[in-house]
Amino acid sequence: MHFKKLPVLKIEHINKDYFVLGVRDKELTQKIKPGHFFQVKDPASRIPLLPRPFSVYKVDNDELEFLVKIIGEATMKLSHLSTGQDIQLLGPLGNGFPLVSGKKVLLASGGIGFAPMPFLEHKLKEAGNEVHFYHGGRSSNDVFCDSVENCTDDGTFGHTGFVTEYVEKYLDSTHIDIVYACGPEPMMKTLTIMCSKRDIPIYVSMERVMACGVGACCGCVIKIKENDSIVYKKVCNDGPVFYGAEVVWDA
Amino acid sequence: MHKCEIEFGKMKWKNPVTVASGTFGLEYADLFDLSQLGALTTKTITPLPKEGNEPQRIVETEAGLLNSIGLQNPGLDEFIRTDLPQYRKFHTNLIVSVSASSIKEFINMIEKLNVQSGVDAYEINVSCPNVENEGIAFGTDPEVVFELTSQLRKATEKTLIIKLTPNVTLITDIAVQAERAGADGLAMINTLYGMAVEVRTKRPKLHSIIGGYSGPAIKPIALQNVYKVAQAVSIPILAMGGITNSDDALEFIIAGASAVAVGTYNFVNPLCTLEIIKGIEDYCVRNDMKYQDLIGSIQTKG
């Protein structure tokens, strides 16, 4: 884990809701695993106070990118940064996705849950896995790449309907060894139920409001089934990736 | 370079900066050598493990943070077994923060910790707003604070720091009783009661509805509490409440604090304590004054 202030290398606006933020740092990129995140903040801005957790979107040699959705004041301020201005980063943080090799793998994401997937896909393919990737969004505005199976609620891009419908059809027609998911909780819950019925392991990347990002404050806990009891686990450093069947959904 | 060494109770600090309980732990040891701090303060430990409150536990508001963690901790035995050996590796003072639901439980905890090496002081947390039947219930009654402090004074020779809540009418009454009962120092302030509501759903944002409020927004409130108490007692004050940089820290020291702790701002900049140490030292050099002379040097007349 490192705490750094780095000049912004790239700010690329995808549309009114999303942008890509890039920095260059060899020390960081060497340590990043798929599913890791960073606590990111505009150091010049005192309000909002806390940094925001962003999954690592892409790693290319010494360059590191985040896909960010503009949700509130913090992300809006970050979107207004220019190249050369400093951003503050703490990371890499979290456990990351457990990787496999030589398997048939399915990735499923929804909305900004797309963020950790391209780097995960790259590493899985590098390890000799066969990867199928489904992504869902409300509209074409929430689609980031046309080389995956895209689904939109309003049919403005790719298949019409929820990503879960298309994943289910795919699981019924094709053997899959493992599923990785990131997106809205109802989506990940549905996928977990689907996978449980078919005895397919699924790993989900959870999201919670965080303060420290390192496990010190215990602010971001979720309920996890452990042995015969239910315990609190910290999304920031016990996760953000959890085994889907162990998550207490709707808690 | 002026070294801002201080004595706090029976401890000698290499500089007057520590961290506020529950905001900073061994997790940060990756980032810098924690021995650089004047002291380390642990998360509050209770006699038995505590799972903490139901989420949602934190909400950010304008210039502050609402929390209702509920003292999640592994319990005293597990702390002694797992965390304490890790803390011993750092060459600085260790303040163990403790909370319990009766005076007897407090004494039992102190007796167990007394025999452990590497514990320099106790912060008696009688001011946490986020747990029932312990915490703040003790810290709001001057007579109870006197009785608890007296009993703990008999139970230990180590530095005894009573952590005060601002959620009372007369904080000086409580501070005076703690001093009269033998406390070596005071830590102040703990969080203020606070609340936030989600307008769309009309639901409280915290599961526990009301929580503890911290961060830059509370600094003026903390500062006036420290100033008032510093006028009323002669034991040292460890001040906390919205400190983000060395100027914030200096305000508290000038108002009467002997040392300062950073809480919420560790989440924003985990290296800010180091910047604050340097800033205080630089201030003493610039003004050619000893740190000791800075404490309580506020000019209120003329």
pLDDT tens string A229-248: 999 999 999 999 999 999 99
Mind telling me how many Å the CA of A104 is from chain B's nearest CA? Answer: 36
Q: Is B60 close to A2, i.e. CB distance below 8 A?
A: no
Pick from A24, A105, A121, A117: which is nearest to A64 by CA?
A24
Q: Which of B23, B31, B215 sits opposite A49 (nearest CB)?
A: B215
- Name the B residues in 237-296 with CB < 8 Å from any A CB: 264, 266-271
Q: How far apart are CA A24 and CA B224, in angstroms?
A: 45
Contact of B24 with chain A, judged by CB distance below 8 Å, is answered with yes
pTM for this entry: 0.96
The pLDDT of residue B51: 95
CB contact under 8 A, A51 and B30: no
Residues of B in contact with A213 (CB under 8 A): 267
Residue A11: C-alpha distances to residues A15, A81, A83, B4 (Å): 12, 7, 7, 44
- Each residue's pLDDT, cut to its tens digit, for chain B (302 residues) gives 568 999 999 999 999 999 999 999 999 999 999 999 999 999 999 999 999 999 999 999 989 999 999 999 999 999 999 999 999 999 999 999 999 999 999 999 999 999 999 999 999 998 876 666 566 678 889 999 999 999 999 999 999 999 999 999 999 999 999 999 999 999 999 999 999 999 999 999 999 999 999 999 999 999 999 999 999 999 999 999 999 999 999 999 999 999 999 999 999 999 999 999 999 999 999 999 999 999 999 999 87
**Residue B301: its pLDDT value, please?**
85
- Which residues of B are catalytically annotated? 128
- Judging contacts by C-beta atoms under 8 Å, the chain B residues touching residue A185 are none
The answer to whether A20 touches A12, Cβ cutoff 8 Å, is yes
Tell me which residues of chain A have a pLDDT lower than 50. Answer: none
Average pLDDT, chain A: 97
- The label of the residue with tokens 């900073």 reads B24
Interior angle at CA A154, CA A150 and CA A155, nearest 5: 50
Cis amide linkage into residue A240, ω under 30° from 0: yes
How far apart are the CA of B207 and the nearest CA of chain A, in angstroms?
12
B27 touches A: beta carbon within 8 Å: yes
Are residues B28 and A50, on separate chains, in Cβ contact within 8 Å?
no
The span from the first CA to the last CA of chain A, in angstroms, equals 30
Residues of chain B found within 8 Å of residue A75, distances taken between Cβ atoms: none
Q: Region of B156 please: left (phi>0), alpha (psi -120 to 50) or beta.
A: beta
Query: How many angstroms away from the CA of B300 is the closest CA of chain A?
Result: 30
| Interface test mutation site (partner A, options B23, B57, B59, B69, max chain A beta carbons within 10 A) | B57
Kindly determine whether residue A220 and residue B269, on different chains, have CB atoms separated by under 8 Å. no
| B270 closest CB neighbour out of A50, A90, A218 | A90
Query: A86 contacts in B (CB within 8 Å)?
Result: none
Q: Do B55 and A218 touch (CB under 8 A)?
A: no
- Contact between B63 and A90 using a beta-carbon 8 Å cutoff: no
Structure tokens at B109: 């905890």
